[in-house]
A and B are shown apart, each in its own frame.
Chain A
Amino acid sequence: AQKITQTQPGMFVQEKEAVTLDCTYDTSDQSYGLFWYKQPSSGEMIFLIYQGSYDEQNATEGRYSLNFQKARKSANLVISASQLGDSAMYFCAMREEEGTSYGKLTFGQGTILTVHP
C-alpha cells in the first residue's frame, strides 16, 4: 500500500522568503506520480506541480519547485519568494500509474503554511 507522510503540521514564513514543505512517500510501484496541491480556506484543490517517478530532472513551475530524491523517497516542495496569498493548506499526494489502480491518489496529512507580512 502506498503511504505519504508530511511531518510538518504547520509552517511559518516571512513574506518574500523561501520555504520548504517536506514530503516522504512509500511505495513498491515502479511507476508513480507525485503531486502537490494547495487548498485555501475556500476548499478548492489547486494543482501546483507534478513529478513522475521516471523524471530525471526536478520539476519546476514558476515559484514552485520540487526537490525529488528518489533514493530517499522524498519529494519536498520549495516555494520561493513567498506571498501572502500562499497562506493555505498544502497536500503532497501520490498517484498510482500502473495496473488496475491507475489514477488513485493517496494524500499526506497536509501542512498549513502561514505567510507573515
Chain B
Amino acid sequence: SAVISQKPSRDICQRGTSLTIQCQVDSQVTMMFWYRQQPGQSLTLIATANQGSEATYESGFVIDKFPISRPNLTFSTLTVSNMSPEDSSIYLCSGGQGPYNEQFFGPGTRLTVL
C-alpha cells in the first residue's frame, strides 16, 4: 500500500499569484494523477504525471495554467498559476495500487483564492 501526503493542506491566496502543491508518496509509483474538486462538485482529472515525460492534460486543462513536475517516482508538484477565485477548489493527488486494487489519494489541498 502507499501513503500519500500533500503540502500545504490549505492556503488562502490572492488573485494573480501562483501556488505550488507538493505530493509525496512513501513508495515508488509509476503514474500519479492530479484531480480538482470544486466546491460541492465531483472530482475531475487535471493531468497524469509520469516520471521522465511531460504530463498528459485532460480536456480543459493546459500546462501554462497547471504546470506539473515529476522529478522521481515518489514526488510530484502541481502549480496553479495566475489564480482567480474560480480556482478555489480542493486539489488531490493520487497514485499507487493496493492489494484490493484501491487507488490511493492524498488528503487534499484546500485552496481559497480571494
Contact = CB atoms under 8 A, between A and B. Distances in A.
Query: Mostly helix, strand, loop or mixed at chain A's interface?
Result: strand
B108 A44 contact: yes
Query: Mostly helix, strand, loop or mixed at chain B's interface?
Result: strand
Contact of A105 (B45, B107, B108): B45
B43 A109 contact: no
A109 B37 CA distance: 11
30 contacts: A33-B101, A35-B102, A37-B105, A43-B37, A43-B90, A43-B107, A43-B108, A43-B110, A44-B105, A44-B107, A45-B92, A45-B94, A47-B103, A47-B104, A91-B42, A95-B103, A103-B31, A103-B33, A103-B97, A103-B103, A104-B45, A104-B48, A105-B33, A105-B35, A105-B43, A105-B94, A105-B103, A107-B42, A109-B42, A110-B42
